[in-house]
Amino acid sequence: MKNLRYRRLLSLALLVPAASASSILFEGGTVISFDHTTQTPRVLQNTSILVTDDRISAIFGADEAVTIPSNVERVPVQGKIVSPGFVDTHRHGWQTAYKTLGSNTTLAEYFVRYGEFSQAGTVFTADDVYYGQLAGIYEALNAGVTSILDHAHSTWSPETSSASLNASLDSGIRMWWCYAFHDLTNGFSVQDQIANFQELLQDDRLLQSVVEMGIAYDGFSSASSEEIQSVINLAKNSNISAFTSHFLGGPWFYANSPSLLNSLDFLNTTFPIVLSHASFISAEDAMLLRQTNQYISTTPESELHYGHDHQHSAFIQDQAALGVDTHFTYSTDIITQARLWLQSIRLKFYQQTLNNWEIARNSPMSANQAFLLATRSGGLALRRPDIGVLEVGAKADIVVFDGSSPNMLGWSDPVAAVILHSNVGDVEHVLVDGEWRKRDRQLVLKQNRTEIEQRFLESARRIQDIWMQTPLPDLQGDFQPGVPYATAYSVDVVRGNETGY
Ligand SMILES: *[C@@H]1O[C@H](CO)[C@@H](O)[C@H](O)[C@H]1NC(C)=O
Ligand SMILES: *[C@@H]1O[C@H](CO)[C@@H](O)[C@H](O)[C@H]1NC(C)=O
Ligand SMILES: *[C@@H]1O[C@H](CO)[C@@H](O)[C@H](O)[C@H]1NC(C)=O
Ligand SMILES: *[C@@H]1O[C@H](CO)[C@@H](O)[C@H](O)[C@H]1NC(C)=O
Ligand SMILES: *[C@@H]1O[C@H](CO)[C@@H](O)[C@H](O)[C@H]1NC(C)=O
Ligand SMILES: *[C@@H]1O[C@H](CO)[C@@H](O)[C@H](O)[C@H]1NC(C)=O
Ligand SMILES: CC(=O)N[C@H]1CO[C@H](CO)[C@@H](O)[C@@H]1O
Ligand SMILES: [Zn+2]
């Protein structure tokens, strides 16, 4: 009802032509909108979307009269699915050069070998960070990811920090670029990092861009209270758009938990806080997130791949969005994350009945819910109800799927088609903030893509050579006090001894 009312108001408003506005009309597709009454995706058949500058200005059916500006760019979308752009709420964009190196790594190994405190801090130059960040964002845009919260921990020097921000600004993706403050051994102290961050905040390019500044910090349970307080003060006084922290719990510790943040008077904040993983979150911490409207970022593939697990995050999906995490190890598209999450949640709750020798009569999670996690929930995690949704007034972050590929052909439910049948090859058009980022399956970039990819490949070859020559760490003794390393059962798909890997 609400949407209909908006539409009629808008068709009147459009009688006054907007002189210099740019507009794009997606004509006659199947649009996945949102129904505020039922809080579910709302499918609109044979519907058109008018984009004016950076926002959606009208959504209308074939029988509705809407005045269309004469200079409009018409894009036919008959037979296609028009979806909101996908939102990735947890990523470390600088790591692209490692691609395929971590194919069978574990989280404990990752910390030593690939993370922000590994040799990366001395090996990666500003150029490595720049080209990796940019080439990685190309992959995201190509897959219909239009928004990213980057936990940017390549902040090892003013140069590598600036390079990451530069690539983000140059990419044209919508980003919450969260500068990570961390204790380094190279002399670039947290106080230096704070000064560097404040300098970057003054960058005039931010005013014309779709990049917003945020802070990433993991030190709440490990750093000195002085350091923690200086980061809290900075966050509260810098008009940031997001704050993010890793939170695992259970045997991982790494406990930047909601209750710890709350005890520091740092949970009920005016800006959004996104806690990545929350694998072993307690019921009490989940309640704190609801009370303060803060979100977790579930990264299904990373939590499976590395073994973080997600024991309890499944119970706080009303305050959750999806993320990719380390894109060098697996897929960057949020649809794959949604699909993996959907099927693993189904299994998790089916098992509860099976363990009791009972047979479920219902499915524990629907494709609609997975779709919302991948889109609108990401916007809500960032307190941006105008992101991850197709409705009048929302940001024009739009993805058009070709509905006629061999894998898509025959769909009637567009949400199920996207979540369970699509692949990146079906992403035909991508718009971010009303601007083309992919058109007719080709990326639309400000840079010379060939040149960027050549520079990235040179960087990746250099980085990969160094890592291949670095022996794998020998993980013996304790991961941390009271938590020993152990050997997991490993499978061998060929008969005989020692034929694995
Ligand atoms: C969509 O609307 C157009 C314009 O009114 C009409 O010609 C066409 O038949 C409709 N298509 C479908 C599939 O309903
Ligand atoms: C980032 O871009 C700005 C503006 O072009 C430039 O001054 C700065 O040197 C760049 N940073 C790096 C590390 O190249
Ligand atoms: C705070 O940042 C937002 C954009 O994120 C901007 O619109 C607003 O003007 C800023 N406020 C101040 C006081 O700088
Ligand atoms: C959070 O802060 C707001 C505004 O200061 C206040 O109204 C609200 O009660 C607080 N909520 C909690 C759970 O502390
Ligand atoms: C893009 O870069 C490549 C490689 O440097 C070059 O061969 C090509 O001419 C460039 N294209 C344009 C349009 O500048
Ligand atoms: C595997 O190795 C163990 C001892 O190392 C040996 O006892 C066993 O027979 C071997 N099994 C096979 C299938 O070769
Ligand atoms: C790419 C990679 O890291 N491969 C490793 C997978 O695990 C085996 C066993 O630990 C290693 O030998 C490989 O190097
Ligand atoms: Zn992470």
CA distance 93 to 151: 8
Beta carbons of 150 and 117 less than 8 angstroms apart: no
Residue whose CA is at the smallest distance from ligand 3 atom 2: 239
Residue with tokens 């791949």: 305
Whether this prediction's pTM lies above 0.85 is answered by yes
- How many Cβ atoms from other residues are within 10 Å of residue 313's Cβ? 28
Which of 443, 444, 451, 453 best tests ligand 5's pocket when mutated (most atoms within 8 Å of CB)? 451
- Ligand whose nearest atom lies closest to the CA of 498: 6
Task: Answer yes or no: is the C-beta of 268 below 6 A from any ligand 4 atom.
Answer: yes
> How many angstroms separate the alpha carbon of residue 455 from the centre of ligand 5?
12
Residue 417 corresponds to which tokens in the numbers above?
Answer: 């088609």
* Ligand 7 near 501 CB (within 6 A): yes
Measured in residues, the chain has a length of 501
CA 293 – ligand 4 centroid, Å: 10
Gap between the Cα atoms of 385 and 88, Å rounded: 15
User: Which residue has a Cα nearest atom 10 of ligand 4?
Assistant: 268
CA of 34 to the centre of ligand 1 (A): 22
- Residues with beta carbon inside 6 Å of ligand 5? 448, 450-451
Distance CA 419, CA 372 (A): 10
Task: Tell me, using a 6 A CB cutoff, whether residue 292 lines ligand 4.
Answer: yes
- 240 CA to middle of ligand 3, Å? 8
Under 8 Å CB-to-CB from 204, ≥6 apart: which residues? none
Candidate of 46, 78, 81 to mutate for ligand 1, largest count of ligand atoms within 8 Å of Cβ: 46
Residue type, 273: I
State the distance from the centre of ligand 8 to the C-alpha of 48, rounded, in angstroms.
38
Which residues lie closer than 8 Å to 52 by C-beta, 6 or more apart? 18, 21, 22, 23, 69, 434
Question: According to the model, what pLDDT value does residue 20 have?
Answer: 66
Which residue ranges in the chain fall short of pLDDT 50? 1-18
Alpha carbon of 448 to ligand 5 centroid (Å) = 6
Residue 501, judged by CB atoms within 10 A of its CB (0-12, 13-18, 19+), counts as exposed
Closest by CA to 181, choosing from 208, 205, 144, 156, is 156
Q: Is the distance from the beta carbon of residue 163 to the nearest atom of ligand 2 less than 6 Å?
A: yes
Distance, in Å, from the CA atom of 70 to the CA atom of 52, rounded to the nearest integer, reads 12
Question: Ligand 8 centroid vs 352 CA: distance in angstroms?
Answer: 29
Pocket of ligand 1 (CB under 6 A): 28, 46, 62
